[in-house]
């Protein structure tokens, strides 16, 4: 039985408050399927998008799929009493960034918070709520020394990864860097959530 199946059977999905965040990349269209699956399984999903992500898929798509407002700017405050989105980050059970671009990896690795996605993630206590990254980029970008350094830094900082895989890319080439499919991301998410909750029970 997969982690996703165990989550469904145990009702864990029904109790999960999740943030699904998108950065700029053509793979953003896949994330619509991920959000839909999570909502159908009973999770409460809040979507955050960088300005670049919103150029690939409209925020309205994710508002319709999640049934919740979509965060697209550091300066547009959905909750007037929480302008820094601290409460949103504090109350979440897990975060998924899919697609996670080369630029987002660099921002997270260096602690920058100059878009709504990195701002929200900066306020997440990763000792309590895992942050899962699903990289998506051209093979050459994935193999850059700077990307490899950033990935190593993020792993050491406690970020979780799913993918990338190898396959057909928007650059008309086949290679490593393709974002994992929604089912793979879903499985990885429930796996890291189950592991974190198991650790909390032992503690």
Instruction: Give per-residue pLDDT as tens, 132-186.
Output: 999 999 889 999 999 999 999 999 999 999 989 776 666 567 657 789 999 999 9
Q: In this predicted model, which residue has the larger pLDDT, 139 or 76?
A: 139
Backbone angles phi, psi at 17, to 5 degrees: -105, 115
pTM above 0.75, yes or no: yes
In this predicted structure, what is the pLDDT of residue 80? Answer: 58
- Which residue among 86, 171, 176, 194 is the active-site one? 171
- When pLDDT is cut at 50, 70 and 90, the band that residue 79 belongs to is low
Decide if 171 is catalytic.
Answer: yes
Closest CA to 21 of 57, 84, 192: 57
Q: Is-cis flag, bond preceding 100, omega within 30?
A: no
Does the pLDDT at position 87 exceed 90?
no
How many residues are there in the chain? 203
pLDDT tens track for 89-112 = 888 999 999 999 999 999 999 999
The C-alpha angle with vertex 16 and arms to 11 and 19, in degrees rounded to 5, equals 150
Instruction: Judge contact between 12 and 193, C-beta under 8 A.
Output: yes
Q: Of 9-13, 21-25, 44-48, 108-112, where does mean pLDDT reach its minimum?
A: 9-13
Residue 47's SS3 state is strand
CATH number of 3-202: 3.40.50.1950
- When pLDDT is cut at 50, 70 and 90, the band that residue 88 belongs to is confident
Instruction: Judge contact between 31 and 181, C-beta under 8 A.
Output: no
């Amino acid at each position: 039985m997969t982690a996703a199946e165990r989550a469904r059977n145990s009702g864990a999905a029904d109790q999960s408050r999740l943030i699904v965040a998108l950065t700029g990349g053509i793979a953003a269209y896949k994330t619509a399927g991920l959000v839909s699956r999570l909502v159908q399984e009973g999770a409460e999903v809040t979507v955050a998008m960088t300005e670049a992500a919103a150029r690939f898929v409209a925020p309205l798509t994710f508002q319709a799929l999640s049934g919740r407002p979509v965060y697209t700017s550091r300066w547009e405050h959905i909750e007037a009493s929480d302008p820094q989105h601290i409460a949103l980050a504090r109350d979440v059970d897990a975060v998924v960034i899919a697609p996670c671009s080369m630029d987002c990896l660099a921002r997270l690795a260096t602690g920058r918070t100059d878009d709504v996605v990195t701002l929200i993630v900066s306020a997440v206590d990763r000792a309590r709520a895992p942050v899962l990254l699903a990289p998506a980029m051209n093979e050459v970008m994935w193999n850059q020394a700077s990307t490899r350094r950033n990935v190593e830094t993020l792993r050491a900082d406690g970020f979780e990864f799913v993918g990338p895989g190898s396959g057909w890319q928007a650059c008309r080439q086949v290679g490593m860097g393709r974002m994992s499919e929604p089912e793979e991301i879903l499985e990885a998410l429930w796996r890291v959530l189950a592991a974190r909750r198991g650790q909390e029970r032992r503690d």
